[in-house]
Structure 1
Amino acid sequence: MRSSTLGEFIRFVIVGIVNTGIYYGVYTFLVYTGLFYIAAHFGGFITAFIISYFLNCHFVYHVRPTLRKFLKFPLTQVINMGLQTLLLYLLVDCLGWSEILAPLPVLIITVPITYSITRWVLKDKKG
């Protein structure tokens, strides 16, 4: 992996950690204000998702945000969620792994794939 790509990947992981904190902060705030937990989940997810888009554009890939890229960005999360769910199912239900430990290799597998898809969606073809 080239050093510029490695730097992008590290920044991508940092943004993921920040987004997790944003999601959880918004979620817990909304729950404590009396909002139903499912509604709080959606509020936290949407907030973190929008912030993730801008952080990925500016901090990770150094690209200008556009409406077209913003509309394509959900594709990255759909693929990520689908792949994570499939791998988790295979490890737990088919291979008998612990449901507590199975998410760890799933993340190791899916984070680089999600990084690549996000990079493809947000960067120009030449980038």
Structure 2
Amino acid sequence: MTTRGQIIRFVAVGAVNTGVYYGLYRALLTALPYVAAHIAAFTLSMVVSFFLTSYVTYRTRPTWRKFLLFPLSNAANFVITTAGVYLLVDVLGLASTYAPLLAAAAAIPVTFLVSRLIMLGPAARRTVPPPAPAPRAPERERTPVG
């Protein structure tokens, strides 16, 4: 499984999940106030995202441990996009209408790495397999000195 393939699948899953969120939000908006609709849609889409990320992006078996840790990838995304929007709008003077798009794009690499670590465990830190142990030279017979 290549990292490049994982990145492509990660972006595709993100696009699908954005559609899932927005569809749920619009549907729930007919019965709930917008904040409640947002929270419910966000929570439900995070569950969908977990399974898509598990099965499609990393092709790994979902577990309860991964499920419980998965919101950390969303938390990382939230922190980066929030700080990014502030930086882009208040510090750099960019229009607030476009700032979230740039901040979201900037968050993709970190979100990918956090989700990869959660889904694949510590082995995800290695991008190449560890080297095989070097073969040992045969022991020579030692002759006593003296």
Structure 2: distance between partners of 1:111 and 1:83: 9
Shift of 1:113: 1.2
2:87 to 90, 113, 119: 90
> Based on CA coordinates, which of the two structures has the bigger radius of gyration?
2
Kindly provide the amino acid, as one letter, of the partner of residue 42 in structure 2. Answer: F
Greater percentage in helix: 1
Q: Extract structure 1 runs of 4+ deviating beyond 6 A.
A: none
Q: Which runs of 5+ in 2 are unaligned?
A: 125-146
Q: Counterpart in 2 of 1:73? A: 70
In 2, the alpha carbon distance for the partners of 1:58 and 1:99 equals 35
Map of 2:7 onto structure 1: 9
Q: Which amino acid aligns with 2:104?
A: L
RMSD (Å) for aligned C-alpha atoms: 1.4
Indicate conservation of the 8 Å contact 2:89/2:95, yes or no: yes
Match of 1:41 among 20, 38, 42: 38
Which deviates more, 57-66 or 105-114? Answer: 105-114
- Tell whether 2:18 aligns with 1:20: yes
Structure 1 gaps, min length 5: none
Q: Which amino acid aligns with 1:121?
A: I
TM-score by length of 2: 0.80
TM-score by length of 1: 0.91
Structure with more contact order per residue of length (Cα contacts < 8 Å, sep ≥ 6): 1
Aligned length: 124
- The 2-side partners of 1:105 and 1:35 are apart by 30
Question: Identity percentage over the alignment?
Answer: 42
Distance 1:100 1:37 in 2: 20
The CA deviation at 1:99 is: 1.1
